[in-house]
Amino acid sequence: MSAKRLLRPSFLLLASLLLAPNFANAEPSLAEAIKKLDAKYLSVPDLAAKDAAPKIEAGGGADDAKPAAQEISQGGVQAALSYIEEKGEEGDVTRIPVVTITADGRVIAKLEGDSTGFTDPPVSVQIAELDPSNSRPEVVVSFYTGGAHCCSDTSVVTSSADGTTWTTVDVGEFDGGPLLATDLDGDGRYEFAPRDNAFLYAFACYACSTAPLEVLSVENGMVKNVTTDPRFKPAHEGTLKFIIEEVPDSEVNGFLAGYVGEKILLGEGKEAWDLMLAYYDKASDWGLESCDQPLDENGECPGKTVRLTYPEALERMLKENGYKVEK
């Protein structure tokens, strides 16, 4: 048999592969496209916030465990965690956490969690510098409300400028367990750094949703959204690195929403929007129904329900939550 005849099958196989549709010019996967576009972020430092403040992190122990009372103090401010016990008809015990806060020996606030059915309910307490308008440290109190993927009910107890009066500021409810403040930029002042909860369930299931970093501060006794403050750019870079390290193979719309949101915060929204247009899942209908009028007080649509495309729904959702969309 001639060498020419031996080579022919291999040559024909190679030729068929090269000429096969999409073989030579196959589009990169979403993960490949993102990691090429955002290669510079793969080497940025991980998000490593600082937290050296006195704190209590309690709860989550064995069902039959009896949690102990705990206390922390700093700068003349003290926070004490105790519990109220409730007994059911069958003798089962649940406990409600109570945090009593004193300043210079005087009780200034007493916060009580909800009854969640836990014998050892999750709760966190922290004394840290959050509000620069006064000379006293603040007290963060965060109770777990129970439920799937939810929630931390978080408050900050802060003083007036002269330290004579104290106010309890409602920070809000956030996904996950009890929330602690952290020093994101290393300036000695603490902030809250949850995910933007508006992205959860918006276009996919909870586990399939990606959310940008949100940064909240307490200033002059009020909660302020400081997510776009330039000093938090390194924190956003670290967040994007974390996001692009875990790109899903399916149900990508929930991921793309958070990805575009975080890229907008970094001033790179247009390139993220273009990538989204090339890779979003056109078969998914999650989150695409919208009301043509504002919802009523019961959350019902008083007008007509309309069906949007994913880019239309994403643009609306982003704008409603303060993200500037560039196309």
Of 10-19, 41-50, 250-259, 291-300, which range is least confident? 10-19
Domain count, the chain: 1
Q: Is residue 294 part of a domain?
A: no
**pLDDT category of residue 88 using cuts at 50, 70 and 90:** confident
Q: How far apart are CA 121 and CA 60, in angstroms?
A: 6
Q: Is residue 161 part of a domain?
A: yes
150-200 pLDDT, tens per residue? 789 999 999 999 988 999 999 999 998 899 999 999 999 999 999 999 999
Long-range CB contact pairs, 97-105, < 8 A, 24+ = 97/58, 97/59, 97/121, 97/123, 97/143, 99/123, 99/125, 99/139, 99/141, 101/77, 101/139, 101/141, 101/157, 101/166, 102/77, 102/78, 103/76, 103/77, 103/78, 103/136, 103/159, 103/163, 103/166, 104/76
The answer to whether the CB of 223 falls within 8 A of the CB of 271 is: no
Q: 268: closest CA among 229, 237, 246?
A: 237
With 0-12 / 13-18 / 19 or more C-beta atoms within 10 angstroms meaning exposed / middle / buried, residue 152 is buried
**pLDDT category of residue 5 using cuts at 50, 70 and 90:** very low
**pLDDT category of residue 89 using cuts at 50, 70 and 90:** confident
Q: Is residue 314 part of a domain?
A: no
Please state, for a pLDDT cut of 70, what percent of the chain lies above it: 91
User: Domain limits at 94?
Assistant: 55-238
Q: Within a 10 A sphere around the Cβ of 185, how many other Cβ atoms? A: 17
The confidence score (pLDDT) of residue 299 equals 78
Q: How far apart are CA 278 and CA 32, in angstroms?
A: 13
209-246 pLDDT, tens per residue? 999 999 999 999 999 999 999 999 999 999 999 999 99
The answer to whether the CB of 182 falls within 8 A of the CB of 193 is: yes
| pLDDT beyond 50 at 271 | yes
**pLDDT category of residue 1 using cuts at 50, 70 and 90:** very low
Q: Is residue 225 part of a domain?
A: yes
Average pLDDT (295-322) is: 92
Please state, for a pLDDT cut of 90, what percent of the chain lies above it: 72
Q: Does a cis peptide bond (omega within 30 degrees of 0) precede residue 301? A: no
Q: Is residue 26 part of a domain?
A: no
Average pLDDT (81-96) is: 88
Average pLDDT (237-258) is: 96
Q: How far apart are CA 320 and CA 266, in angstroms?
A: 19
Q: How far apart are CA 208 and CA 160, in angstroms?
A: 43
Q: Is residue 132 part of a domain?
A: yes
The confidence score (pLDDT) of residue 303 equals 87
The confidence score (pLDDT) of residue 25 equals 58
The confidence score (pLDDT) of residue 302 equals 87
Q: Is residue 282 part of a domain?
A: no
Q: Is residue 49 part of a domain?
A: no
Concatenated DSSP letters of 119-147:
SS--EEEEEE---TTSSS-EEEEEEE--S
The confidence score (pLDDT) of residue 19 equals 44
